[in-house]
Amino acid sequence: MRNKAVSASHQSGKCLLAWKAIAKWLRSGYFFALVVLISFLFVLYYGFDLYRDAFQHQRPFRWQDLGLSFGVLLIHLLAQVVVWQFIILKLGCKLSFRTVFQLLALANLGAYVPGRIWQMTGLFYLADKEQIPKKVTGTALLLSNALNLGAGALVFLVSLSFGFARATTATVVWLILVVIVSMLVSHPQVIQGALNLLLGWLGRSPVQFQLCWRDVLLFVSLYGMTWLLYGGSLVLLAGAMTAVSPEMIPRFMGAGAASYVPGYLAFVVPGGLGVREATLSGLLVSYLPLQTAIAISIFSRLLLVAAQALCAVVALLFRWIDQLSDREEQRCQHVGKPK
């Protein structure tokens, strides 16, 4: 009887440990990233079925163009990591590309939770783990967001000025205001003055960043180039579904960059879901049939989420490898100690 009780207690202890391990894994970012990746791969497959039903009369779907579109989209995301790395470097912190990639890839998962605050909170938390000062993280976050928005609006306005795009007067005025406000907010004196004012209220010592107006213009130019890459991804995606003429290429680049602005500013919508797609469809419908414009917008979101999920999985893999290396190093140091 006693042996049965001990055996039952032993089995109960094993079950408890198993449940604890499962709960720990469920709370980890690995599970979240895996669910996001599987879910959106399923939605991508389902979206292709919808496309096939709606466009049976057109040419077959070109999978090679879809693959190229996904590859260029990944380059767009990696290019934005490089720009963020440059911004951090100018603010006095030298980080490797791998570290910055992990920070942004994991923090971007928070964009799909309602409220932009979760993405920002996640970035502050991960940056603090890398011993990056909060004032540097906050300044880099403000600079990158403002300049990214301004660059997106500027790319569309440039395409508009050359006759490559069409838009209403209200849209043009609104995007011009976005460019002006983003450049004002990103001015080095404005950023440093506002930050030192906040630090003074908190009783902290002021800071001095080696940042000039020329650096801000460089960052805007780099972000503009990343939006051209995103436009190239849209062109390839559209080419997978329908014929794309050469004069359509600048229009796709302008529309893709412009659609980011309202999507980002819709703070309560997770990742600008729906807002970004509606804007892109509205800009493309002047040149394409409505069904085609909507299909491109939906597929662009699916590819973006799949690319972000893939980056998050790679970032988690890097972190796991780093943890294993740290444990192995600690084990070697422990073994090497004299008894």
pLDDT tens-digit map of 72-101: 999 999 999 999 999 999 888 888 899 999
Q: What is the pTM of this model?
A: 0.79
CB atoms within 10 A of CB 337: 6
Give yes or no for a contact between 279 and 152, defined as CB atoms under 8 angstroms apart.
Answer: no
Evaluate if residue 25 carries a pLDDT over 80: no
For residue 263, report the phi and psi dihedrals to the nearest 5 degrees. -65, -40
Average pLDDT over residues 19-30: 51
Average pLDDT over residues 165-186: 80
Per-residue pLDDT tens for 33-77? 565 556 556 656 655 665 665 555 566 778 888 899 999 999 999
Token pair listed for 323: 């943890």
Q: Which of 176, 181, 102, 185 minimizes the C-alpha distance to 143?
A: 185
| pLDDT of amino acid 227 | 94
Q: Which residues neighbour 294 within 8 Å (Cβ) at sequence distance 6 or greater?
A: 277, 281
| pLDDT of amino acid 251 | 86
| pLDDT of amino acid 197 | 77
Bigger pLDDT: 43 or 291? 291
CA distance 261 to 212: 25
Average pLDDT over residues 20-29: 51
Q: Provide the pLDDT confidence category of residue 334 given band limits of 50, 70 and 90.
A: low
Q: Provide the pLDDT confidence category of residue 327 given band limits of 50, 70 and 90.
A: confident
Evaluate if residue 144 carries a pLDDT over 60: yes
Highest mean pLDDT among 75-84, 151-160, 179-188: 75-84
Domain ranges for the chain, please list them: 63-326
- DSSP helix/strand/coil, 188: helix
CA distance 130 to 236: 37
Evaluate if residue 234 carries a pLDDT over 90: yes
Whole-angstrom CA distances from 125 to 81, 83, 98, 119, 230 are 18, 20, 17, 10, 28
CA distance 134 to 127: 8
Average pLDDT over residues 181-187: 84
Burial classification of residue 52, based on how many CB atoms lie within 10 Å of its CB (0-12 exposed, 13-18 middle, 19 or more buried):
exposed
Q: Provide the pLDDT confidence category of residue 221 given band limits of 50, 70 and 90.
A: very high
Q: Residue 123 half-sphere exposure, CB side, CA atoms within 13 Å?
A: 25
Bigger pLDDT: 46 or 111? 111
**How many residues are given for the chain?**
339
Evaluate if residue 338 carries a pLDDT over 90: no
CB atoms within 10 A of CB 22: 11
| pLDDT of amino acid 117 | 78
Q: How far is CA 102 from the centre of its chain?
A: 11
Give yes or no for a contact between 107 and 128, defined as CB atoms under 8 angstroms apart.
Answer: no
| pLDDT of amino acid 75 | 96
Which range (30-34, 141-145, 245-249, 331-335) has the least confidence? 30-34
CA distance 33 to 132: 25
Highest mean pLDDT among 19-33, 158-172, 314-328: 314-328
Average pLDDT over residues 170-182: 84
Per-residue pLDDT tens for 263-284? 888 877 777 778 888 889 888 8
- Average pLDDT, whole number, for the chain? 79
Average pLDDT over residues 175-184: 86
CA distance 139 to 91: 8
CA distance 249 to 39: 31
Evaluate if residue 6 carries a pLDDT over 60: no
